[in-house]
Amino acid sequence: MLTSASVTANIPAADIARARSFYADTLGLKPASEVADAGMLIYRTDGGTMFSIYQTDYAGQAGHTIAQFHVDDVVAEARALQSKGVALETYDMPGVNWDDGVADMGGMGKAAWFKDSEGNTLCIDSGFPEG
């Protein structure tokens, strides 16, 4: 049924202008388009994916990761985020070794979590393992 569908992330924002600034100034992302009357920003990455940020009073309420950015070098990206004032999150995860906010998950690669301007948890990781 859904095997040929594409999947996108929808990220909530209590303050769309604040979110736009965070995603531009901190993450280096600019919206590809905007649906002003719906309070929505649409982003397209050079990696060929897209996600949206939409205005809602319910932003930051999810207690889990809502979007992951798959990157080539998690450590370099994590340090770049930290240099812009982003605090990396750490979690009690059995079998995971942490080094200054970067998780080494063995065969699952490396990952780092952080919160955006709206309190949403985002992740940078080395992608899904082959298999």
For residue range 39-54, list pLDDT tens digits in order.
999 999 998 899 999 9
The pLDDT-based confidence of 131 (bands split at 50, 70, 90) is: low
Please name the amino acid found at residue 75. Answer: V
Higher pLDDT, 5 or 82: 82
pLDDT at 37 over 90: no
**94: CB partners within 8 A, 6+ apart:** none
Encode 31-43 in three state secondary structure. CCEEEHHHCEEEE
| Topology adopted by domain 9-56+63-125 | 2,3-Dihydroxybiphenyl 1,2-Dioxygenase; domain 1 (3.10.180)
Q: What pLDDT is attached to residue 130?
A: 63
Q: What is the mean pLDDT of residues 16-34?
A: 96
Q: What is the mean pLDDT of residues 63-69?
A: 94
The pLDDT-based confidence of 6 (bands split at 50, 70, 90) is: confident
Please tell me the pTM assigned to this model.
0.92
Give the distance between the most distant pair of CA atoms in the chain. Answer: 47
Q: What pLDDT is attached to residue 57?
A: 94
